[in-house]
């Protein structure tokens, strides 16, 4: 007996960027208490890993949910090129007024990738370090 | 409910080619993967079984038995083989990791007698994997064409 199956394809990408966790809504002391070392005014950086998951039917002509030849340049253009080797707080307009926690980063990456035309975006998972990861599926 | 995952690895060759496409279309759509001489990967397959632990054994299923099923159904068929030519279950399909994950699901699913098959993940490389799960009940959305 065959059951209906749900299929997804996941691809990992990497970029490196710096950020500072600091909110103007809090005092300096509150920022230090809340964000600890992450509030260092000079910023600090991470090697981020981004897992992009797309879903949809397998095209019987190609055997693929999405052609990585289309997904890779899309992610490169929308996320990697604008974020890699950047200071997120100052160089990404969306983080001018939003603290670039990896929660917010994950949601911003999802927003940027949502319009991928060839398959449905299922979720985005961002690893800030190998110990911390964040996932958003809309 | 508990989910138990067992990993198994195999190495195989494949290439992507659709005889309905012209040579130029095949190269454009499949890129380097269209090389007719084939190329290979070290595949990692993660198989997840869901169920309640048996009160007597404390296990959802015996992992030794699961390992034997995976060796028989996956490795004996696919390890050190050419997926385009030597795996009858993939005949007529382009051996992408999407198709591999669905094929492996269909091979394993009938062999699982304790717990139920919950997920099959096929990693073509550490950075690319396809995942097969059941369509949630109540959803008419099937990914099969």
- Verify whether the Cβ–Cβ distance B18 to A61 is below 8 Å: yes
The active-site residue, picked from B17, B33, B68, B71, is B33
Q: Which residues of B touch A60 (CB under 8 A)?
A: 145
Q: Which residues of B touch A56 (CB under 8 A)?
A: 143
DSSP β-ladder status, B128-134 and B116-125: antiparallel
Name the phi and psi angles at A33, rounded to 5.
-65, -40
Judge whether B80 counts as a catalytic residue.
Answer: yes
More confident residue, A24 or A3: A24
Asked whether the beta carbons of B55 and B44 are under 8 A apart, the reply is no
Q: With a cut of 50, say whether residue A94 has pLDDT above it.
A: yes
Partner-chain residue, chosen from A61, A64, A69, that has the shortest CB–CB distance to B98: A64
Domains within chain B, CATH numbers bracketed = 2-133 (3.30.479.10)
What are the residue ranges spanned by the domains of chain A?
8-136
Question: What is the assigned CATH class of domain A8-136?
Answer: alpha beta
- Verify whether the Cβ–Cβ distance A8 to B131 is below 8 Å: yes
Q: What is the pLDDT of residue A4?
A: 86
A68 touches chain B (CB under 8 A): yes
Q: With a cut of 80, say whether residue A1 has pLDDT above it.
A: no
Asked whether the beta carbons of A10 and A51 are under 8 A apart, the reply is yes
Name the phi and psi angles at A10, rounded to 5.
-120, 135
Asked whether the beta carbons of A106 and A98 are under 8 A apart, the reply is no
Q: What is the pLDDT of residue B91?
A: 95
A36 closest CA partner among A22, A16, A57, A52? A22
Dist. CA B30–CA A69, nearest whole Å: 8
Q: With a cut of 60, say whether residue A23 has pLDDT above it.
A: yes
Q: What is the pLDDT of residue B136?
A: 83
Q: Tell whether the torsion through CA atoms of B119, B144, B125 and A137 is positive or negative.
A: negative
CB pairs under 8 A between A and B: 93
Asked whether the beta carbons of B3 and B50 are under 8 A apart, the reply is yes
Name the phi and psi angles at B98, rounded to 5.
-60, -50
Q: With a cut of 90, say whether residue A3 has pLDDT above it.
A: no
Q: Which long-range contacts (CB under 8 A, 24 or more apart) does B134-138 make?
A: B134/A3, B134/A4, B134/A5, B134/A6, B135/A3, B135/A4, B135/A5, B135/A6, B136/A6
B119 touches chain A (CB under 8 A): no
Q: Tell whether the torsion through CA atoms of A20, A25, A28 and A29 is positive or negative.
A: negative
A30 touches chain B (CB under 8 A): no
The ipTM, to two decimals, is: 0.88
- Write the pLDDT tens digit of every residue in A52-78: 999 999 999 999 999 999 999 999 999
Partner-chain residue, chosen from A11, A56, A64, that has the shortest CB–CB distance to B127: A11
Q: Which residues of A touch B135 (CB under 8 A)?
A: 3-6
Q: Which residues of chain B have pLDDT under 50?
A: 144-145
Q: What is the pLDDT of residue B141?
A: 55
- pTM here is 0.92
């Amino acid at each position: 007996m065959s059951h209906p199956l749900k299929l997804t394809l996941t691809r990992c990408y990497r970029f490196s960027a710096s950020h500072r966790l600091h909110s103007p809504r809090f005092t300096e002391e509150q920022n230090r208490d809340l964000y600890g070392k992450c509030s260092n005014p000079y910023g600090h950086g991470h090697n981020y890993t981004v897992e992009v998951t797309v879903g949809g039917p397998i095209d019987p002509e190609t055997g693929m949910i999405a052609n990585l030849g289309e997904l890779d340049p899309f992610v490169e253009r929308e996320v990697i090129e604008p974020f890699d080797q950047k200071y997120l707080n100052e160089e990404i307009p969306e983080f001018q007024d939003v603290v670039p926690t990896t929660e917010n980063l994950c949601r911003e990456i999802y927003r940027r990738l949502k319009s991928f035309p060839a398959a449905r975006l299922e979720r985005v998972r961002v690893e800030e370090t190998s110990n911390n990861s964040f996932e958003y599926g809309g | 409910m508990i989910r138990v995952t067992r990993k198994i690895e195999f190495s195989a060759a494949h290439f992507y080619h659709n005889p309905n496409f012209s040579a130029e279309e095949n190269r454009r759509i499949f890129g380097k993967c269209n090389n007719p001489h084939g190329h290979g990967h070290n595949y990692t397959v993660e198989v997840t079984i869901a169920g309640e632990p048996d009160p007597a054994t404390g296990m959802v299923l015996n992992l030794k038995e699961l390992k034997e099923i995976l060796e028989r159904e996956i490795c004996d068929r696919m390890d050190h083989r050419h997926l385009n030519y030597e795996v009858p279950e993939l005949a007529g399909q382009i051996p992408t990791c999407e198709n591999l994950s669905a094929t492996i699901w269909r091979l394993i699913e009938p062999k699982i007698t304790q717990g139920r098959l919950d997920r099959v993940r096929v990693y073509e490389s550490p950075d690319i994997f396809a995942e097969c799960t059941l369509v949630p009940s109540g959803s008419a959305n099937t990914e099969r064409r």
